[in-house]
Amino acid sequence: MDIEHITNREAKEVLAKLITQKVQDNQTIGFGWGSTAYLAAIEIGKKVQSEKLNIIGIPTTKEMEELCKSYGIKIGNLLENELDWAFDGADEVDEKNNMIKGMGRAMFKEKLNIVSSPLTYILVDNTKLVKELGKAHPVPVEVFPTAVKYVSNELMKIGATETIYRGMTENNNAILDAKFDNIGMDLEKKIKSIPGVIESGLFLGYNVVTITN
């Protein structure tokens, strides 16, 4: 990630420094993805080095994994480690902490970290706060590659106004960006019930705490 081109970087760096206050020795922490999470990982890495902390990180992308390793953070996984807490960013967050995530293509592993963690801190600058989800971003949907056409048609049946293929994830699955005019609390389950869908970027009703500035 090119730090020099991160938008609203100053505000995000403030949030990155705030999350380091949660870090304690011998913790296992879930590392999300996105520009704010990347800056937070750098600050956590600096603390690990300066205080000689023993931290296990469970990253959601290969790039985050490499960043953790560069600061001496050990890499774990959800099969062998239990999270103490996790942190992540978001593309949109409403007043009830419902979110759209996945514009960085990592929503599957991000959701795994969130559901596996007793608590996840969502770091967002005020540009990510919205009154209603889906007005600024589509809903990313991770799809088994040969199911793209079928899933696209099914998404239209449940209310999508358009679907656009965006590329592939690190898991070698396709991403469809689905635009919805209205996002109800049942939409996440409707999307997940479509055969061929691996995961969606809708995060509705999860145990998260939003930290903003």
The rounded distance, in Å, linking the Cα atoms of 79 and 55 is: 17
Exactly one of 43, 110, 154, 188 is catalytic; which is it? 110
Q: What is the C-alpha separation between 99 and 206, in angstroms, rounded?
A: 9
User: Hey, CA dihedral for 6, 12, 13, 16, is it positive or negative?
Assistant: negative
């088994």: which residue's tokens?
A: 144
Sign of CA dihedral 65, 58, 109, 90: negative
110 is catalytic: yes
How far is it, in rounded angstroms, from Cα 161 to Cα 208? 29
Residue 155's H or E segment, with its range, is: helix 148-157
Check: CB of residue 170 under 8 Å from CB of residue 62: yes
**Can you list the alpha helix ranges (DSSP code H) found in 71-182?**
107-116, 148-157
Packed helices 35-51 and 62-70: angle between N→C axes, nearest 10 degrees:
20
DSSP H or E run through 198: strand 197-200
Enumerate the active-site residues: 110
